[in-house]
Structure formats: structure tokens, C-alpha cells
Structure 1
Amino acid sequence: MSLQLDARQRAMLQEMGITIWQAAPAAAAAAPSVTERMARPAAQGMPVLERPLAPQVPPAQPRAEAPAPVARQQPPQAAPAPAPAATQPAGASEGAVARLHAPVALYPDAATATSGPPRELGNGWLVIFETPTPADPLGGDSGRLLDNMLRAMQLHRHPRTFACVLERGAGAEASPPVQAMLSRTLAELQPSMVLILGLGAARATLDNREPLGRLRAAQHQMPDGTPAFVSYDPAYLLRAPDAKASAWADLCRALAVVRKAGEA
């Protein structure tokens, strides 16, 4: 309970050193809060101001990432096949029946242009090979290459340079066997050297199934004792010009054998 003191009484108590504690009037006890004032009804004469609500911002949606561009797949392509190495083929018709044509003189007019065949070239040469033009042994590209090879050996100066063409296919069955025709030709011509060009010709005349590399490396002997050498055929050399040096080495070995025999 608080004392009701007038101004004179309060002054006397202060002079005596007594502190007067007096409660604040009820009306001023507590000022209404802002919330209470806003909550008062508008009937008291004060318009109620409604606080505008903050706009509700919808929660941010996660941004959909654009899909990475898909690289256009190229259809798989087969790797190019490596180019086949040029090898001496056995020949698609090697197993077919073969026949040996009668010998043909390649340079029959050589004796009229000179005083006679060179002694170092021997008594004559027999060249056995396959060609797409049996009637014209020196025809076509392969024939021209063979002509150049023989001229490099100086065989164009020898009138007894003969060609025996080996042919396979229809009609060969009615011809004499290769070995019989070969023996007859050797007995007639009696050459100093036999050149056998190509794997097919070598297997048909030598009756030897070894690969061309081994056939080229050795000196052979025909049934009558005539020496023989094996080399590449001209058609193959057109496809593999890098082998021309090896072919020339084969021909030089044959020349050396004939020259050595002539000196004996």
C-alpha cells in the first residue's frame, strides 16, 4: 500500500534523508506495445492499419540442366585392308594340264647383221616361260620386257636364241607331255643354257615343287645334262619392278656359266 503524500510532506521527508519510493500511476504503468495498439479495434476512433504481408516468393525450383549434346556416332568403318605384298604367285592354272609349244627363234636375222654369233654366248639359248600371247612370245608388255632382258644379255645377237612357251588350258590334253616335248627340243637344239622364267614353268619342266626362292638359288640340270637357271617371269616383274635387280643377277649367273664353259 503506497502513501498518499502531498508536496509539503515529500519535501520534509527528503530533508530528513528518507528516499521516497512511490509507485507510478496505474495509467502510466505500462505503455501499450505497438502490437497492442495495432490490435485495438477501430471502434476507438483510430483506424487500424493493416501491415501488408510480404509477397510470398515461391521456392526456387532447381534449374534443369540442358542435356549435354550427344556426339553423332559415325557408323563403324572397316579398316582398309593392307595392300598385298607382291609375291611370285603359283598361278591360278598351275594345276591345269600344260603343253610346251615348239621352239621359236626370237632373233633369226641376227647372223646377217654380224660376222657370226659371239663365242662367249655359246651354242644357243632356250628360254621357257608362260605368256598370254603364245603365238607372239615377244608381244605385249611382258614380251617387250623379255626382249629388253635378252638384249641386255646380248642374246639379240645370237640367231640361236629360242623361246618355248608353256601354255595351260583347253587342248593341252591332246599335246605331248611336257617332259617328252622338252626332251625332243633339247635333242634338236642342243643349247648351251636353258632359262626357265616363272614358278609355273619351273615346276612343269624341272618336276620340282620347291618354292621359287630355292629354285632361283640353285643351278639345275636338264635330263640331257644341259645347265639351267630359274628366275622371275616378265609378267611378275611388271607387277614387282623391285625384283628386276634380282632377276638380272640370275641372268648374269647363267651368262657366267656359259662363258666359263666356252673358255674351257
Structure 2
Amino acid sequence: MSLDLGVFCKSTLDGEAVDHCFSSLFGLGKNADPSYLDWLFKAWGWTLAVAILGLAIALVLGAVMGTFRTLPQTGTLNKWLVRFSTAWVELFRNIPILVQVFLWYHVIPAFVLPLKALPSYWLVSIALGFFTSARIAEQVRAGIQALPSGQRMAATALGLTTAQGYRYVILPMALRIVIPPLTSESMNLIKNSSVAFAVSVPELTLFAMQAQEETSHGVEIYLAVTFLYAVSAFAVNRVMALIEKRTRIPGFIVASSDAGAH
């Protein structure tokens, strides 16, 4: 079987060949019909936008909730924060991501009216961010607990408050040793962004489904989409590997792998 890559240089409007495969994407033809290659790369852009926004939400919430889960239960506030963060993790990691997307798109805006004004890609990014934050929270918790207990005692001996101890001593080290599992979560988020097709975000999976129906060239379409997903995940892997190399703490190589196992 031979591949017909010429399908990407056909117009999405009438199926006829266009002069330039990137006819509208790079302005090679002002009034040219968009090609399937245009559509493919625009869909890739939406995939990356949803994944990056979701990752930003997940990293912030995950770090906060993971930290809360390790607070010493010495006061009423700390106890409630531990309970709240535990409930957060158990709730969001035990509901399928597709169900969460539908909840954010169809249900929650009915109760939180300002969410109705948000575009669908924002709602999907929030759903992805909350879902992934529960997993990141567990990794941050494992990273904090992987640190020697002397770190916390040293912070206390220096007269630091609990908040200062976490800010200046515990979190700077814990966040570095959990970079390997964070790499996996970042790559998973790229792949999980495919659920955005369910609420009509024009990302790669939706492109593949619609383009395959229009062109009947499913092999070429899905190979191209698979390649772009793989490229995206590999790029994330390389970036995170560079960050890990630049921030590695001498003597914590074993602790890092232990943290990723939790």
C-alpha cells in the first residue's frame, strides 16, 4: 500500500489541489483556500495551547495540594488543610478525565454563571489541570516525604516558621527531586488533551476524525496526527530532562527515583 501524502495539499473546501500546501497558514496566498496541512498545523497549535494551559494549572494546584498534605497536624488550620487536600486528590484522580470535561462543559457553568462566558478550550484546560493536579500533588507529597527529616528540624532550629521552612528549605529541594515523575505527567497531559475533541475544540484528534471522513485517507491522516503527538511528547521529555540536569541536587539521585515510585 502506498501513501498519498498529496491529500494534505488539497483544499478543505472543495477537495481540489491547492498551489501551496501552507496556503493560508503562512499567507502564501491571500485568498487561497486552506489546505488540510493548514488545518493539521492549526489543530496542533490548539493541542499545545490546551496542554500548556492545563499544565500551568496542574503545576500550581498540584504543588499547593501536595504541600498541604504534608503539613504537621499541630493546629486546627493545618488539620483542615490536610483534610481538604486529601479530599481534592481523591476526588479528582478517581473521576475519569472525560467525565470531568463534560462536567466542566455542561454542568458546572449552570451553577457558576461566569464560566458560561469562557471558550471551550479554557474549560477543557481547567478540567485537565484539576485532573493532573491530583496526580502531581501525590508526587510533590512523595518528594517532600523523601527528604531526610533533618531538613525540617534544621529549618525549625533556625527559627523559621512552618511556611518559611517550606518556602526556603523543603520545597526548593522537593520540587527538584520530583522532576522525573513530573516529566511523565507532562507527557501524559499532551496525550490527555485529545479529550478536547469531545467538546469541539479543533485539536488534533478532532482534525483526524473530520479529515478522515472528508478525504477517506485515514492512514495518512492518523499517521500525521500520531507523529505530531509523538513529537510533542518527545519535546516535553527533552525540555524536562534539561531542567532536571540543570537543577539536580548532588546526593539525591536515589531519593529522586524513590519519589517517582510513589
TM-score, normalised with respect to structure 2: 0.24
- Rg: which structure is higher? 1
- Of structures 1 and 2, the one with the larger relative CO (CA 8 A, separation 6+) is 2
Larger strand share, 1 or 2: 1
